[in-house]
């Protein structure tokens, strides 16, 4: 009977030590945060409305820049079969751009050089997943060459207003209005 009590006491002592280790019964401070620290850290880590808006602005401009880069690449060879534009551009603008590339290809025209641009997101409605971009597009060093390229009297540096929409958490430019009779 004595043995049984010793085993029980040893068992209780071992269980107590194990619980102390699990619960953190030590005299040294724990390196792990307690529950209140964890919840305050989680609350601090939650994005602020300004951070969410800034991220959205960044994504809108990335879609616009991606669209222009894809179009510059496609227009250098008049590649109307490009798939890359659809990564950044939605309808109806996508169809308009592909049609323009097709007409360039048929006419033997391509673009040479490189434009510059300086966009700004002027409106952002996250509740509607919509944005407006204003840009001053400069095509001074980007010219149509070959085939039946016709010189134009339009401004080489002109304002453009674009609309973008977020679909399935991705931004697409879907409308572009160039004011080619004005300069910026």
- List domains and CATH numbers for the chain: 50-178 (3.10.450.50)
pLDDT tens per residue, range 68-111: 999 999 999 999 999 999 999 999 999 999 999 999 999 999 99
Distance separating alpha carbons of residues 75 and 79, to the nearest angstrom: 6
pLDDT tens per residue, range 123-153: 999 999 999 999 999 999 999 999 876 667 7
Distance separating alpha carbons of residues 50 and 53, to the nearest angstrom: 5
Alpha-carbon separation of residue 44 from 9, 25, 35, 48, 53 (angstroms): 47, 29, 14, 9, 17
Tell me if the pTM is above 0.75. Answer: no
Q: Does position 158 have pLDDT exceeding 60, yes or no?
A: yes
Distance separating alpha carbons of residues 57 and 7, to the nearest angstrom: 68
Angle at 112 between CA 107 and CA 117, to 5 degrees: 120
User: Is residue 157 classed as helix, strand or coil in its secondary structure?
Assistant: strand
């Amino acid at each position: 009977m004595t043995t049984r009590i010793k085993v029980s006491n040893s068992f209780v002592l071992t269980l107590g030590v194990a619980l102390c280790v699990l619960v953190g019964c030590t005299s040294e401070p724990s390196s792990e945060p307690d529950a209140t620290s964890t919840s305050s850290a989680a609350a601090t880590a939650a994005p602020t409305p300004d951070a969410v808006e800034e991220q959205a602005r960044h994504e809108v401009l990335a879609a616009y820049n991606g669209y222009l880069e894809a179009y510059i690449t496609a227009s250098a060879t008049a590649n109307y079969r490009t798939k890359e534009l659809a990564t950044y551009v939605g309808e109806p603008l996508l169809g308009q751009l592909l049609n323009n590339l097709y007409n360039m290809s048929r006419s033997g025209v391509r673009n040479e050089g490189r434009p510059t641009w300086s966009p700004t997101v002027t409106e952002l409605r996250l509740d509607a997943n919509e944005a407006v971009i204003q840009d001053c597009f400069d095509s001074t060093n980007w010219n149509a060459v070959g085939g039946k390229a016709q010189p134009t009297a339009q401004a080489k540096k002109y304002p453009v207003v674009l609309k973008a929409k977020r679909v399935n958490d991705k931004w697409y430019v879907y409308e572009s209005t160039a004011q080619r009779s004005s300069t910026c």
